[in-house]
Amino acid sequence: MSDPGGPSPSVRDAESILDRLAATALDDDYYVQRETPPGPSARTLTGVVLASFALLFTIAFVQTRNDRPATEAEREALIENIGVRQDLVASKRETVERLQEEIADLQAEAVVQGPGVSPLRVAAGATAVRGPGVVIEIESADDRERPEGRVSDTDVQLVVNGLWLAGAEAVAIDGHRLTSTSAIRSAGEAITVNYRSVGEPIVIEAVGDTNTLRHQWEEGPSGRYLATRADDDGLTWSVRGSDQIDLPAAPEARLRVSARPLRRSTS
């Protein structure tokens, strides 16, 4: 019969397990007492090991300290080399810019002083032009429901080609100077000249002999075509002479042409 005042069986079992764990936690060799201290060989070996570690640590420290100046020197040399390269690149860039300016000056001088250059520059659109000529205005029909009554890029192209055929020296559409690389296209319902939209009425200006230019254009295929378009589709147009027309030079970007000469076949 158990004592009511004593610990329960479960508590006694737990205490017994803890006592056994405490008793067997350490290996039996831990409790063995060495009667004799380590011998001279063991102490010598221990000293050799400690000395070896100390020697390795000292060697590593000395080597690291000796390598630091070399590393710093290499770093400084690399920085100096980078600076020299940057100065060299800057010098080369300045030389290139100076040579480009000299080339541009020489080209300009050659163009200005070359014989017969002025008419070529006018024809190419590289210079502004002022003189007499004609002004043609074209506008779509009032009835917007008639698609055929709208001014098309073909209409404008034919008018311009007719002016060149009639002897025009320079032509512009709404202030856009035309050159051999100019483009007259349709973009939706709009007409673009050199990829810029032009509004109506479309104004086409041409420099040349006023009477000759007007007569040749009206009597030529371009004038007759526009007159037919007006009668059939309701387009409105007018042509008049002008004593003074100012046409700007074409942008330099439009005067550049990338081309390669054709090679003759060797076969």
Q: What is the pLDDT of residues 56-75, one digit of tens each?
A: 878 877 777 666 666 777 78
Supply the pLDDT for residue 216: 93
Supply the pLDDT for residue 109: 67
In this structure, the chain runs to a length of: 267
Supply the pLDDT for residue 64: 72
pLDDT: is 218 or 19 the higher one?
Answer: 218
Q: Which residue has the tokens 């429901």?
A: 145
**Phi (first) and psi of residue 243, to 5 degrees:** -75, -25
Supply the pLDDT for residue 2: 47
For the chain, give the DSSP string.
---TTS--HHHHHHHHHHHHHHHTSS-GGGGPPPSS---HHHHHHHHHHHHHHHHHHHHHHHHHHHHHHHHHHHHHHHHHHHHHHHHHHHHHHHHHHHHHHHHHHHHHHHHHHSTTHHHHHHHHT-S-EEEEEEEEEEE--S-TT-GGGS--HHHHHHHHHHHHHHT-SEEEETTEE--TT--EEEETTEEEETTEEEPSSEEEEEES-HHHHHHHHHHSHHHHHHHHHHHHH--EEEEEEEEEEEEPPPPGGGG-----PPPPP--
Supply the pLDDT for residue 196: 87
Q: Which residue has the tokens 């010598």?
A: 44
Supply the pLDDT for residue 207: 93
> Would the pLDDT of 259 be above 50?
no
Provide the 10 A C-beta neighbour count for residue 18: 10
Give the best-scoring range by mean pLDDT among 37-46, 129-138, 194-203.
129-138
Q: Which residue has the tokens 């060697």?
A: 59
> Would the pLDDT of 230 be above 80?
yes
CA neighbours closer than 13 Å in the CB half-sphere of residue 199: 0
Q: Do strands 176-177 and 170-173 pair parallel, antiparallel, or not at all (unpaired)? A: antiparallel
Q: How far apart are the C-alpha atoms of 166 and 174, rounded to whole Å?
A: 20
pLDDT (average), residues 205-217: 92
Q: How far apart are the C-alpha atoms of 156 and 217, rounded to whole Å?
A: 13
pLDDT (average), residues 96-115: 73
Q: 1: pLDDT confidence band, cut at 50, 70 and 90?
A: very low
Supply the pLDDT for residue 171: 92
> Would the pLDDT of 183 be above 80?
yes
pLDDT: is 7 or 161 the higher one?
Answer: 161
pLDDT, tens digit (0-9, with 9 covering 90-100), for 149-168: 888 889 999 999 999 999 99
Q: Which of 164, 139, 160 is nearest to 234 (CA)?
A: 139
pLDDT: is 215 or 55 the higher one?
Answer: 215
Percent of the chain beyond pLDDT 70?
71
pLDDT (average), residues 185-201: 86
Average pLDDT of the residues of the chain: 79
> Would the pLDDT of 136 be above 90?
yes
Supply the pLDDT for residue 258: 46
Supply the pLDDT for residue 9: 55
Record the tokens describing residue 58, joined without a space: 């000292």
pLDDT: is 231 or 114 the higher one?
Answer: 231
Supply the pLDDT for residue 12: 63
Supply the pLDDT for residue 62: 73
